[in-house]
């Protein structure tokens, strides 16, 4: 999730190229992109396997810390279950798959695009970018009204990098490790939960 | 769909055995980043070329915002519950 602006730039430049139709047809009709996704997931897997940070953070920490990522997963699912009724032409499963990105927009939108549909992929991209932005903007209010864990859960997978500074400043330094752990756990879980929900 | 999970699981196992190879980790991170850039660029191209999606972009944005709203509100309400029930009192002790 590092370099969110870079990622959005690549997407926007692609959008422009596609819209202006300057690229040859064979580049647009890309059937090989699902192989690119498998390759990416393999790389992401290696990244997770070599990353021992999550275990290190866990060491010497109360196991209660697991409740926090769980809170985010259940809370997101509950909130979306209530609100999806107000969204026309969107199934329960589609809404949940978008929500299961937990702010990890790059990977969740790619998975949804390749395994389900482009339209839902775009919704996932936008929705998860918004989750990050809303957390950055409203973190101070969240702490005031909902306690110190609220911005962590709102930040979702981004609580390990992009929203970590704001979380530490509004919730306190003692929440840095909690926030980091929470983000790492969700980052690892996103590909699993998104592909499972969309395959239901 | 399940291929995605299978491929990632294989990657995790291989990665676990290679977890002490610092150079490989570095190269892997670089490749991952560029793979993400490339795929999002490709996603951008195919969406830009898709007139139906481009025309509906504001509606898609509104749908996205509604889902985000639901997810965030659900998360912070439950976070408030988790905090007051399991963390707040302990912190004061």
| Domain enclosing residue A38, as ranges | 32-199
Q: What total number of domains does chain B contain?
A: 2
B27: contact with A, CB 8 A cutoff: no
Testing the interface with A: which of B68, B73, B85, B90 to mutate, by most A Cβ within 10 A?
B68
Testing the interface with A: which of B44, B75, B81, B87 to mutate, by most A Cβ within 10 A?
B75
Q: What is the pLDDT of residues B63-81, one digit of tens each?
A: 999 999 999 999 999 999 9
Q: What is the pLDDT of residues A153-167, one digit of tens each?
A: 999 999 988 888 888
Q: Bin A88: left if φ > 0, else alpha if -120 < ψ < 50, else beta.
A: beta
| Domain enclosing residue B26, as ranges | 1-54
What integer best gives the mean pLDDT of chain B?
Answer: 85
* b (16+ CB within 10 A) / e for B51-61: eebeeeeeebe
Same domain? For B41 and B85 the reply is no
On chain A, the residues whose CB falls within 8 A of the CB of B93 are none
Q: State whether B60 and A123 contact (CB < 8 Å).
A: yes
Residue A73 has pLDDT above 80, yes or no: yes
Among A192, A185, A166, smallest CA distance to A67 is for: A185
Inside any domain, residue A5: no
Separation between Cα atoms, residue A32 and residue B39, nearest integer Å: 11
Asked if B11 and A43 touch (Cβ cutoff 8 Å), the reply is yes
Separation between Cα atoms, residue A9 and residue A103, nearest integer Å: 17
Q: State whether B44 and A14 contact (CB < 8 Å).
A: yes
The structure tokens listed for A32 are 């090989």
Q: What is the pLDDT of residues A9-46, one digit of tens each?
A: 888 888 888 888 777 766 666 556 677 778 888 888 88
Inside any domain, residue A79: yes
The complex scores an ipTM of 0.84
Asked if B76 and A67 touch (Cβ cutoff 8 Å), the reply is no
Same domain? For B50 and B71 the reply is no
What average pLDDT score do residues A106-129 get? 91
Separation between Cα atoms, residue B29 and residue A6, nearest integer Å: 15
Same domain? For B66 and B88 the reply is yes
Same domain? For B7 and B35 the reply is yes
Asked if A86 and B70 touch (Cβ cutoff 8 Å), the reply is no
Q: What total number of domains does chain A contain?
A: 1
Compute CA A132 distance to the chain's CA centroid, rounded to the nearest angstrom.
Answer: 9
């Amino acid at each position: 999730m590092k370099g969110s602006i870079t990622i959005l730039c690549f997407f926007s430049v692609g959008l422009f190229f596609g819209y202006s139709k300057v690229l040859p047809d064979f580049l647009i009709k890309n059937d090989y992109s699902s192989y690119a996704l498998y390759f990416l997931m393999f790389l992401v897997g290696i990244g997770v396997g070599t990353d021992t940070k999550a275990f290190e953070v866990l060491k010497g920490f109360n196991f209660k810390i697991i409740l926090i990522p769980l809170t985010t997963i259940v809370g997101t699912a509950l909130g979306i279950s209530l609100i999806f009724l107000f969204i026309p032409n969107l199934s329960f499963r589609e809404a949940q798959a978008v929500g299961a990105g937990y702010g990890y927009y790059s990977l969740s939108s790619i998975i949804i695009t390749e395994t389900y549909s482009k339209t839902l992929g775009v919704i996932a991209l936008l929705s998860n970018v918004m989750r990050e932005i809303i957390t950055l903007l409203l973190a101070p209010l969240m702490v005031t009204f909902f306690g110190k864990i609220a911005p962590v859960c709102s930040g979702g997978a981004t609580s390990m990098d992009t929203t970590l500074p704001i979380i530490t400043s509004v919730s306190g330094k003692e929440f840095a490790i909690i926030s980091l752990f929470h983000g790492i756990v969700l980052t690892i879980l996103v590909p699993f939960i998104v592909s499972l929900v969309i395959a239901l | 769909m399940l291929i995605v999970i299978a491929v990632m699981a294989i990657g995790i196992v291989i990665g676990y055995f290679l977890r002490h190879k610092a150079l490989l980790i570095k190269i892997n991170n670089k490749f991952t980043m560029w793979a993400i850039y490339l795929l999002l660029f490709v996603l951008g191209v195919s969406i830009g070329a898709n007139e139906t999606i481009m025309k509906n972009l504001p509606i898609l944005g509104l749908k996205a915002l509604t889902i985000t709203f639901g997810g965030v509100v659900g998360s912070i309400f439950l976070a408030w519950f988790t905090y007051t029930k399991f963390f707040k009192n302990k912190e004061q002790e």
